[in-house]
Every structure is written in C-alpha cells, then in structure tokens.
Structure 1
Amino acid sequence: MNANFLTAVLLPLALFVIMLGMGLGLTPTDFKRVLVEPRGVIVGAIAQLLLLPLVGFGLANLFPLTPELAVGVMVLAACPGGSTSNLITYLVRGNVALSITLTAVSSLITVFTIPLVINGAMQYFLGASATLQLPFLKTVIQIAVITLIPIGIGMTLHRYAPKFAATVEGYVKWLSLFFLGLVIAGLLLAERANVVSFFLQVGWVMLALNVIMMFLGYAIALGTKLDGPSAKSISVEVGIQNGTLAIAIASTPTLLNAPTMAIPAAIYSLLMFITSAAFGWFIHSQTRSPRPTEKDSRP
C-alpha cells in the first residue's frame, strides 16, 4: 500500500469513522455523569491518563527498545481509550455507561496531554537527536479537529436524528474495525522489511503493557470499593486504546511523520482484542452475575 495514500487518505478516513461512531453513542448525560457518579470516573481517569503512561514509560525503559520504538510506546500510552471498549464492556457485563463516559472524558482531556507526554518522551529517549518537537497549541488544535469534530457530528445526529443514529451506529463500529485492519495492514506492509524484527522487539512490551494495565485497572477499581461491573469497565477501558489515533499521530506528515513510531500502536491494536477476549472469558468464569440492563448502567 502506498505510504502517501495511507497517511493522506486512509488514516484520516479511518479516524473520522471511528470518532464518528463514538459520537453516535454519546449524549450530554455521558459528560454530566462525571458529577453524578464521580468516583468511578475519577478512578478510571487516573488509571487511563496517569497510570497507563507511567507503566508504558517503565516498560519502555525495562526492555531493550530502539529510541523510536520507545517513543512509539509512549504515543500509544498517551492516547485515549478506544470506542470498541464500550462494546467489549457490554460483552463482559460491565458498566456500559461508565465505559462510555470514560471514553468521552479521556478523548477530551488527551487532546491537551498528548503533546506533553510525547514531547517529554522524545526528549528522554531521543535526547540530542530529537530534532522534532510537537508545538503544543498547533498539535492541540490538530488533534481536536481530527477527533472532536467527528464526535460532535455524531452527537448532533444522536440528538436530532436518533433513529438514524441508532440504525447506523452498529454499522459504523464494524466499519471502524475494518478501517483499523486496513491501516494496520498498510503500515505493516510499508515496514515489511523490518516487521519481524519489530514484533520481536516491541511485541512483548505491548503485550505486557496491555495485560498489566487490564489487571491493574481491575484491582484498583475493586480496591477503591467500586462494584464488579464498574471494575470490569475500567479494566477494559485502560486495555483498549485508540490505536488509530496513535498511528495517525506517529505517521501523519504534519505531526511526527515517523512510521516506525506507529509500529507499537499497530501491534497493540492487534493484541488488545485477543487479551480482551481472554479477559472476558476469565471474568465470565469467575462470576455469573446477570448482564446489566440499560436502566441499571445509565442514570
């Protein structure tokens, strides 16, 4: 797949579809829930926005990665949860409303934290060779445009054309997975000469990051006296990342323009669905609680 087509056409289209699908399932109530049910949102946000980058930083130091791949790990760790987390939360009988709220809140906050985390990572891992820094204001505006605008369009459709939004939401989510698959395939094809080496170098790091965060999220939620469904939601939320956004940040010419830094996000995006399925099986084997209804999980 042509690299220019991947970064100029497919990536923006994939990201637009994914964020549109997220917006189709959001309402203002999902943001108000921060005030109504603050404990679950605060615990989930701390795990997503603070603990995930810290664990990613520790693993990037622990494993013998090239500086570019280490920065790529941090790019993925700086991104918000992915919209697929809401579906997986439903399948593992978690608190879907909390999952939706955490996805929405992290998508808003990371617009501002992404350039801070990435610039710090480049200074640390690349040092004097870090010739590129993401200008804060320009990067915030660009990330806001490629994420918040399609979310806003989706929320508008949800508000003024609810039947249409409900009809197309499922199709859009499956289309999102299709585009994510194309993006990953295109990126790995473009880096095919080094793809085996990349998997051997960073594959274990991304697997460790995913598994550690899912179990930490679950343990911290239970440790703060949240109920089981909320703990599942937080665990899934910190395990499912917006890999497409990470790939876009790493590959887009107006941002990092470094396809090698996108490799960790591509590998993570493959692994997270496997580990999520394993997590769902593990949780299902431990509990037989009834699936929460929409009434139970949304105020």
Structure 2
Amino acid sequence: MAYDSASQRMKITRIMICLVALLFGLLKEGAGFAMHKNFHLVSSSPYGLEKALTTTKGSASYSSRKHVFMEVYGNNMRVNFEAPGKKFGSVSKALDVVKNLFPCWVLSSAILGLLRPQSLIWFNGSCITWSLSFTMLCMGMTLEPKSFVRVLTRPKQVLAGVVCQYTIMPFLAYTMAKLYRLPPTLAAGVILVGCCPGGTASNLVTLIAKADVALSVTLTSISTLLACVVTPLMTSMLVGTLVPLDAKTLLVSTLQVVLAPVAAGLGLKVFAPNLCRASADITPVVGVFLVALICGAVVAGNAPALATLAPAAAATGAAVSASSWFSSAPARCVAALLSLHAGGFALGYFAPRAIGAYPAEARTVSIEVGMQNSALAAVLAAKAFSDPMIALPGAVSATCHSIMGSFLATLWRGAKLEDESVKELTDS
C-alpha cells in the first residue's frame, strides 16, 4: 500500500513533538531532579539555607513552597528535594511497569505487523534509522565515565564478556544458518544478528536476575563501541560469500547509528547531568516503544513472505502438518534464532564459569551474550543490503531473546546464589 509522504512526515513530526514535550515536562516539574528520588545535600553548616528554611539544632522543618525537607543534626544538615505529593512517585512506578513489560510490547508489535501490516508499514526508512539513533542516544545518557574506568579494575571479567560476545554469537549464528539450511537472505540476517553487540535491554534483565548490573553496563558500553569496527568486519567475513554486501556502507552506517548517538548521549551525561537525571525515568520507556515499533515495522514490511509460514493448503481449510510447517524458510529462520539465543545464553554462562567466574558474573555474561541489539541488525540490514528480507531476522530475534531472557531472569531471581559476589562486585 502506498502512503503519502506528507502524511508520513506529519506522523513523524507528531512523534517528535510528543517526545520533546515529555522531556520538557520532566525538566519543568523535576527542576533537575528525578521524579521519585530523594537527593541528599550534606552541608557542614546550615546557615547558607536559612533564607529558605528556619531551623534549630536537632529540629526538622518542611517548606511546601520549595518542596524541601531539611534535618539538622549537630553541625550537619541533610536536605531532601522531593516532588510535591505522591503523584510523581506513582507515575515513576507506572513507567517502571511499562519498561519491565518490554517483551510483551515487542511481541505485540510483531503480531500487529504480521496481522495488520498496513498499521505499521508507514514506519520505515528514516523513521527506523532515527528511532534507533534516539534509542542509542538514550543509552549514552545512562552511561557513566566510571563504567570505562572499571575496565582497568576488573579486566578479567570485562575481557571474558567481550570475547564471548564477539566469538560465540557470530560463529554460532553462522553454524545455525548452515544447520537449518536457510536461504542466503535469511542466513545473512541471522549472521548479522550474531555480529551485533549486546542489547540495551540486557541491563534491565540483569537487574531482574539479581546479577551484576555494574558489569552488565560496562559490557554493553564496551561491546557497543567495539561494534563500530567489529560488526562490519565480522559481517563482511561471514556474510560476504552469501549475498552482495556494501562493506563501506555498513561501516559508515554503524558509525552513524551507534558511535555518534552514544557519544552525544555520553556528552550530555557529562556536561548536562541535570537533563539526564530529569529524563532518566522516561527515556527507557521511549526506547522500549521505539524498539517495539522498529520490530513491528520490519515484520509488517515482510508480512507477505511471512505468510508462507502457513502453506497454501491452509487457504483451502486443509490441515497443515508439522513437517510442512517447519519446512518453510521463515519457520526454519525462527528455529535458527531460537537455537542461536539459547546457545548464547548457555555458552555465555558456562564459559566464564570454566575460568573461575562467580555465578553472578556468569549470569551477567550469559545475558549479555544471549541478548543482542537486534534493532541495530534490522537497521543495518536495511541500509547495507538491497533485499528487505535480510532485516526480518532482526525483528524476530528481538522477540525471541526478549522472551527467553525475561524467563531466564525470572528463574535466576528465585534461585539462591552460591556466594555474595553481587554485593562484593557492586561495592567495588
């Protein structure tokens, strides 16, 4: 179905206006502080704030106008900056719930793209590219410079995670593409997924699994920056023999979609920390919905090909046997991706354990390896390859690893760790 370019531009404009309005509202209401957090300011003397609050030794006062709660203990004073009322705390909790339902949004968007492709087909081309760029910008805004310093203090764990990321997944993806006898286009898409860095959702899943969040953030940061070189290199090496590949376009696209937005986000984190704090609750939610939109749009664009999952016999009402269903190329692609991510989770756990990693560290590496930045794979496939089918595995992969990762994290959350490494590693 053809869409008017003016109508498409209007939809994009509305989305951008909504995003800007949300960020502006947070800045205005939060006054530079997160909505649901208390920020403590400790002073050696209370006299500097006497104009705002009148206090006496050992007393506590509250200013409804400034929304400041101050306690004085001897010569020290603690000031809590709070948003008025309880509504901001409830909004923050609601946003957390929305963010935690990430697999549901991705799955729902993919189903919508398959059943009603006309509802998402407009979200393509530059929409997808800019959406992923904004998601990577949001990721950059969450990074801390100390995450990179941690590489020097914990080199063994970081090196093990990065090596697993860029050895297990690329070659496992190539193996699965051959094992399931995928056609060249789908095989290229599966391999591209394997060559991408860890997904941003891995940090949330790591938190749910009670693993090492600090290590997860560090691994995601390092693997994302290395992707600017490693992803085009590994993809060219493994995919170049299957389908025509413009290696230069792939490299430039990776730099544009990954390095530039992440660097910009990190710059905002350093030079505009209040902005990052004010938007800390909303940007992950926006990123979740943008990734879901990307996956749904890619599925919608390939809906005719996905229709082959139900052979022609289904159109006449005849029963479809399991063998005929599995023999279709898209079905084999789904099976290959499920095997790829399952293998990534398993090998990502046992490989670090084999070299003496703590269970918490092994869980973290497992999640980082098993969950890929599939949205990046879909965008790079659309920009560097001519066949739109190559982007399909990226959309399917996002659904697969989100559900598998969330299920695994739930199991691990209920399991008791053998040691107290989480606390030790967090403190370090």
TM-score by length of 1: 0.89
Q: Which runs of 5+ in 1 are unaligned?
A: none
User: Would you say how many aligned residue pairs link Structure 1 and Structure 2?
Assistant: 290
Matched, 1:243 2:378: no
More helix by share: 1
The higher radius of gyration belongs to: 2
Residue-by-residue CA offset, 1:211-255 (whole Å, 9 max, x unaligned)? 111011111111111112211110110111111110001112xx2
Query: What secondary structure does 2:372 align onto?
Result: coil
Cα distance in 2 between the residues matched to 1:169 and 1:20: 12
The 4+ residue runs of structure 1 with deviation greater than 6 A are none
Match of 1:47 among 156, 161, 164: 164
Match of 2:222 among 99, 102, 105: 105
Query: 1:188 matched to which residue of 2?
Result: 299
Query: 1:135 matched to which residue of 2?
Result: 247
Instruction: Answer whether contact 1:210 1:239 (CA < 8 A) is retained.
Output: yes
Matched, 1:274 2:403: yes
Q: How does 1:150-299 map to 2 (within 5 A)?
A: 150-196=261-307, 197=309, 199-252=330-383, 255-287=384-416, 292=422, 296-297=425-426, 299=428
Residue-by-residue CA offset, 1:58-111 (whole Å, 9 max, x unaligned)? 111111211110111111011111111111111111111111111111111121
Instruction: Answer whether contact 1:236 1:276 (CA < 8 A) is retained.
Output: yes
Matched, 1:116 2:247: no
Compare relative contact order (CA 8 Å, sep 6+) and give the higher one, 1 or 2: 1
Cα distance in 2 between the residues matched to 1:174 and 1:53: 29
Cα distance in 2 between the residues matched to 1:234 and 1:170: 26
Matched, 1:19 2:136: yes
Instruction: Answer whether contact 1:86 1:99 (CA < 8 A) is retained.
Output: yes
Identity of matched residues, %: 25
Cα distance in 1 between the residues matched to 2:339 and 2:278: 37
Instruction: Answer whether contact 2:299 2:392 (CA < 8 A) is retained.
Output: yes
How much does 1:3 deviate? 9.4
- Which amino acid counterpart does residue 224 of structure 1 have in structure 2? I
Residue-by-residue CA offset, 1:113-159 (whole Å, 9 max, x unaligned)? 222222223333x2xxx4x33234x5333311221111112112211
Cα distance in 2 between the residues matched to 1:40 and 1:20: 26
Instruction: Answer whether contact 1:18 1:176 (CA < 8 A) is retained.
Output: yes
Query: 1:72 matched to which residue of 2?
Result: 189
Instruction: Answer whether contact 1:79 1:245 (CA < 8 A) is retained.
Output: yes
CA RMSD of aligned residues (A): 2.2
Residue-by-residue CA offset, 1:233-281 (whole Å, 9 max, x unaligned)? 10110111111110001112xx213220111111110011110122112
Q: Which runs of 5+ in 2 are unaligned?
A: 1-117, 310-328
Query: 2:86 matched to which residue of 1?
Result: none
Matched, 1:88 2:219: no
Cα distance in 1 between the residues matched to 2:427 and 2:131: 29
More strand by share: 2
Query: What secondary structure does 2:127 align onto?
Result: helix
Cα distance in 1 between the residues matched to 2:128 and 2:395: 12
- Which amino acid counterpart does residue 17 of structure 1 have in structure 2? F
Cα distance in 2 between the residues matched to 1:23 and 1:90: 18
Residue-by-residue CA offset, 1:275-294 (whole Å, 9 max, x unaligned)? 0122112212331678956x
Instruction: Answer whether contact 1:20 1:150 (CA < 8 A) is retained.
Output: yes
Cα distance in 2 between the residues matched to 1:7 and 1:150: 19
**Given the superposition, is the C-alpha separation of residues 11 and 48 from structure 1 closer, same or farther in structure 2, using an over 3 Å criterion?**
same
- Which amino acid counterpart does residue 387 of structure 2 have in structure 1? A
Instruction: Answer whether contact 1:24 1:166 (CA < 8 A) is retained.
Output: no
Instruction: Answer whether contact 2:197 2:373 (CA < 8 A) is retained.
Output: yes
Instruction: Answer whether contact 2:227 2:254 (CA < 8 A) is retained.
Output: no
Instruction: Answer whether contact 2:121 2:297 (CA < 8 A) is retained.
Output: no
Query: What secondary structure does 1:226 align onto?
Result: coil
Query: What secondary structure does 1:193 align onto?
Result: helix
**Given the superposition, is the C-alpha separation of residues 151 and 298 from structure 1 closer, same or farther in structure 2, using an over 3 Å criterion?**
farther
Instruction: Answer whether contact 1:79 1:241 (CA < 8 A) is retained.
Output: yes
How much does 1:176 deviate? 1.2
